Amino acid sequence: MLQWIRKHRKALAGISVGAGAFFAAISFITYKVMAAEETTASGNNLINIGISTGDGNDMASVLQMLLVLTVISLAPSILIMLTSFTRIVIVLHFTRAALGTQTVPPNQVIIGLSLFLTFFVMSPVFTEVYDSALKPLSNNEISVEEAYETGVKPLKSFMLKQTSTKDLDTFFKIAGYEEGSVTSEDDISMTVLVPSFIISELRIAFIIGFLIYIPFIIIDMVVSSTLMSMGMMMLPPTTISAPFKILLFVMADGWNLIIGNLVATFK
């Protein structure tokens, strides 16, 4: 024990000095805080914390701020569920998988491209929502309820154009809607329209993904049969077919074809 202490006496001395400095700093801070409290108490400098009721305009501003914060917190979910983002990002992932490039383009590029394409497709809807709901609300021309009812109409129209009747009927039955009770867009609840829209988007995206896979599967089959006929069974067909897939994709201007036709699928 004595030998260990002699061997590490320099380190122990450093630790002792550091601990002493730490406790000295804590003592100094505590003394300053207590002195400040005594000064505040002697001077009767009290801090009043309260909530002013204010007038109606202040309350409206608070409600608008809460609404904005709520929308910001739900923005990712709104972007995924109520826009064209779902279809676009799934089709781009299918394209990468069909090419067999695994991580090229990376996820950041796919998500970024999907976001910009979503803003491009949804720009007329967003403009209409801003002009009819957000702008009058910011000018205190309409209430929050009126802004919601007005702003949701363009989104409903867009979503209904992309939603199949079969999916709507399915959720109408689940929700207990009576036959013939829905006569206009206003009669369709968002709780029914949103899941119907998402299912329709998933089905369309998978159909497009299947069509994208077909030419690349043909290349894989040709390469595999060629390698088997040459007796080169130990060579992975995916390694040989990958350059041919990329060459075909570039020569056919694949990105232009896929993005152009994908955007055109939105009515």
pLDDT at 32: 47
Residue range 146-172: average pLDDT? Answer: 87
Cβ-Cβ contacts under 8 Å for 86 (sequence gap 6 or more):
80, 198, 201, 202, 205
pLDDT at 85: 92
Q: Sorting pLDDT into bands at 50, 70 and 90, what band is 192?
A: confident
Residue range 110-117: average pLDDT? Answer: 92
Say whether pTM exceeds 0.75. no
User: What DSSP character marks residue 181?
Assistant: -
Of 49-53, 126-130, 139-143, 194-198, minimum mean pLDDT range: 49-53
pLDDT at 41: 46
Q: Residue 2: is its pLDDT beyond 50?
A: no
Report whether 155 contacts 129 (CB < 8 A): yes
* Alpha-helical regions (H) of the chain: 2-7, 9-43, 56-73, 75-81, 85-99, 107-129, 135-138, 144-162, 165-175, 190-229, 237-251, 254-264
Q: Sorting pLDDT into bands at 50, 70 and 90, what band is 4?
A: very low
Of 117-121, 179-183, 233-237, minimum mean pLDDT range: 179-183
Give me the helix-helix angle, 107-129 and 254-264, nearest 10°.
Answer: 30
CA distances to 28, 142, 231 from 133, in Å: 58, 8, 68
pLDDT at 92: 94
User: What DSSP character marks residue 177?
Assistant: P
Q: Provide φ and ψ at 73, rounded to 5°.
A: -65, -30
Q: Which two tokens stand for residue 128?
A: 């209409």
Q: Which two tokens stand for residue 23?
A: 């406790």
pLDDT at 222: 87
